[in-house]
Chain A
Amino acid sequence: MRRWRRVLTIATTQGHDLLRRHLALVMLALLPALFYLSVAGQHISKGQDPWNLNIAVIGVAWAVAGGAFFLALSSRRIDQRLLLAGYRPAELVLGRLAFLQAFAFIIAAGYSALLVTRSPAAAGPLILAVAVTALIGVPLGLALAALLPRELEGTLALIAIIGVQTSQPSNLAIAPALPFYGPIKLIQTSWNSHGAILPYFLHSLLAAGLLLALAMVLWTRGSAVHSPATTANVSTPSD
């Protein structure tokens, strides 16, 4: 129970931090729609690659992963102090994940409503594609913030990952190794109104799970405190 209270406190703190960035909030909410509206007029026939819908989903990926990356970076500067005060690394990651994931699903819900009303694609797979994009984007941002904790390097890596995802046809051999492969395939299923949903949904869950595991490991190692303040007797051995 104590652990979950701590997780809730971290989630609340992350919420305060984001909700006071009013301009960033507006931009995060509008970014996916901007992507979609920029290509919404393009006519794509059934059976063709619905690239405009792909780009629409990638807009969600940018907003969610980018938001998670920068918010995690801004919080990271006090992580060691929080750990020294008594938090555990997993509590910090789970707290941030809880808030950011909830926020990402809110963006996804609003954006799904826009897509469903404006696109002739099948609603079910379309909504699912947007939802799993949000699910993958948050741990991707957290993992990048832990792996590359400098803004320039992390941003360039984010551009590379999502950019490659956008430029690669989903039938290439390398495509399943990319994090948003599942959502892209779900979009195609949605557009063509036939095809399997479950394998791509499971692929998306796997991608999110792997990225979350990576984020947990990297945050735990990167923020290590070698003499936990909550321990009564602490010794740091020499080499």
Chain B
Amino acid sequence: MDRSVAGQPRQATSPALTAAGVSKRFGRRVVLEGACLQARKGQAVAIVGENGAGKTTLLRICAGLLVPDTGAVEVRGRIGYCPQDPGVLDLLTVDEHLELFGRARDLPPEAALQAGHQILAGLRFPVGDKTVAGHLSGGNRQKLNLALALLGEANVLLLDEPYQGFDYGTYVNFWDLVDTWRQAGRVVVVVTHMLAELTRVDHVVELPPAHRPPAGRSERRPR
């Protein structure tokens, strides 16, 4: 049975994110073939698969950063995208990153800093640190990377292994945050290798290796 986080029956809403029959090749190499993904408001989806199965490619297609060769993607709402490699500038401080990304959402600097600090505090980041991003530890860079995706109340979160380098406490906390985001009605799509956490999502999209079609078998997970 498909249940909402709070145990209430989920309302029949139209999908906030739909990817249907998505295929992508780079040169002769087929990375994705017929992959499908669907998520409604308040749902979490995990994308799993071996290295090279096309998880990041599917996420980038959902974000609009790549065009699929075939298939269609529809997104209803504002995307928050967290890339696998921290998409930050080494010579900017944390606050400067928050102001830069906040301005993209038309947030004044004070509002961007306030919202950003709140997100970072939730990720156990030492808020107020004036260090430039290039001097942050790997885990803290990743926290900043994730915070930038969350800034501005995006309601479709596309997170590509967002917990890399997190300490154990923050990692556990991350999955609690996923629940919180779901409760707030956000869609959360997480590329992950952490199969132990798959009980915490609504759907799992398992991508087989690229040479083994068909791809994108979607399986509903009971919660």
Binding site for B on A (CB under 8 A): 2, 5-6, 9-10, 13, 16-17, 20-21, 74-75, 77-78, 80-82, 84-87, 225-230, 232-239
Q: A225-B64, A227-B75 given as contacts; is B92 within 8 A of A17 (CB)?
A: yes
Q: Is the interface of A mostly helix, strand, loop or mixed?
A: mixed
Q: Across the interface, do B70 and A85 meet the contact criterion of CB distance under 8 Å?
A: no
Other-chain contact of A229, B72, B73, B103, B154 (Cβ < 8 Å): B154
How far is it, in angstroms, between the C-alpha of A86 and the C-alpha of B153 when the chains are bound?
12
21 A/B residue pairs, CB under 8 Å, sorted by A: A5-B103, A9-B100, A10-B100, A13-B96, A75-B89, A84-B63, A84-B79, A85-B105, A86-B104, A86-B152, A225-B63, A225-B65, A229-B78, A232-B76, A234-B64, A236-B67, A236-B72, A236-B73, A237-B72, A238-B68, A238-B70
Q: Closest Cβ of chain A: how far from B45's Cβ, in Å?
A: 17
Q: A87-B104, A232-B77 given as contacts; is B89 within 8 A of A227 (CB)?
A: no
Q: Across the interface, do A227 and B73 meet the contact criterion of CB distance under 8 Å?
A: yes
A-B contact sample (20 more), CB < 8 A, given A81-B81, A85-B151, A236-B67: A16-B91, A16-B96, A85-B101, A85-B152, A86-B152, A225-B64, A226-B66, A227-B73, A229-B154, A232-B76, A232-B77, A233-B76, A235-B72, A235-B73, A235-B75, A236-B64, A236-B68, A238-B71, A238-B72, A239-B69
How far is it, in angstroms, between the C-alpha of A6 and the C-alpha of B151 when the chains are bound?
16
Within 8 A of A (CB), among B105-133: 105-106, 132
Q: Please give me the residue from chain B that is nearest to A228 by CB atom.
A: B64
Judged by a CB distance under 8 angstroms, whether B165 is at the interface is: no
Judged by a CB distance under 8 angstroms, whether B209 is at the interface is: no
Judged by a CB distance under 8 angstroms, whether B87 is at the interface is: yes
Q: Closest Cβ of chain A: how far from B39's Cβ, in Å?
A: 14
Judged by a CB distance under 8 angstroms, whether B83 is at the interface is: yes
Binding site for A on B (CB under 8 A): 21, 61, 63-81, 83, 87-89, 91-92, 96, 99-101, 103-106, 132, 148, 151-152, 154
A233: chain B residues at CB < 8 Å are: 74-76
Other-chain contact of B103, A9, A225, A234, A236 (Cβ < 8 Å): A9
A236: chain B residues at CB < 8 Å are: 61, 64, 67-68, 72-74
How far is it, in angstroms, between the C-alpha of A235 and the C-alpha of B20 when the chains are bound?
11
Q: Closest Cβ of chain A: how far from B51's Cβ, in Å?
A: 22
Q: Across the interface, do B64 and A86 meet the contact criterion of CB distance under 8 Å?
A: no
A9: chain B residues at CB < 8 Å are: 99-100, 103
Q: Please give me the residue from chain A that is nearest to B75 by CB atom.
A: A234
A84: chain B residues at CB < 8 Å are: 63-65, 79, 81
Report how many A-B pairs have Cβ atoms within 8 Å: 100
How far is it, in angstroms, between the C-alpha of A212 and the C-alpha of B26 when the chains are bound?
31
B68: chain A residues at CB < 8 Å are: 236, 238-239
Q: Across the interface, do A13 and B89 meet the contact criterion of CB distance under 8 Å?
A: yes
B96: chain A residues at CB < 8 Å are: 13, 16
Q: Closest Cβ of chain B: how far from A7's Cβ, in Å?
A: 10
Q: Please give me the residue from chain A that is nearest to B96 by CB atom.
A: A16
Q: Closest Cβ of chain B: how far from A75's Cβ, in Å?
A: 7
B77: chain A residues at CB < 8 Å are: 232
How far is it, in angstroms, between the C-alpha of A234 and the C-alpha of B70 when the chains are bound?
17
How far is it, in angstroms, between the C-alpha of A84 and the C-alpha of B89 when the chains are bound?
16
How far is it, in angstroms, between the C-alpha of A233 and the C-alpha of B76 when the chains are bound?
5
A232: chain B residues at CB < 8 Å are: 76-77
How far is it, in angstroms, between the C-alpha of A228 and the C-alpha of B156 when the chains are bound?
13
How far is it, in angstroms, between the C-alpha of A233 and the C-alpha of B69 when the chains are bound?
21
How far is it, in angstroms, between the C-alpha of A84 and the C-alpha of B156 when the chains are bound?
12
Other-chain contact of B132, A20, A78, A81, A85 (Cβ < 8 Å): A20
Q: Closest Cβ of chain B: how far from A46's Cβ, in Å?
A: 48
Q: A20-B91, A233-B76, A238-B71 given as contacts; is B65 within 8 A of A82 (CB)?
A: no
How far is it, in angstroms, between the C-alpha of A234 and the C-alpha of B66 when the chains are bound?
14
Q: Across the interface, do B100 and A77 meet the contact criterion of CB distance under 8 Å?
A: no
A21: chain B residues at CB < 8 Å are: 91
Q: Across the interface, do A6 and B103 meet the contact criterion of CB distance under 8 Å?
A: yes
Most buried by B among A2, A6, A9, A77: A9
How far is it, in angstroms, between the C-alpha of A235 and the C-alpha of B101 when the chains are bound?
24
Q: Please give me the residue from chain B that is nearest to A17 by CB atom.
A: B91
**The 9 residue pairs across chains A and B that have the minimum distance between CB atoms:** A227-B64, A86-B104, A85-B104, A9-B103, A226-B64, A236-B73, A81-B87, A229-B79, A20-B91
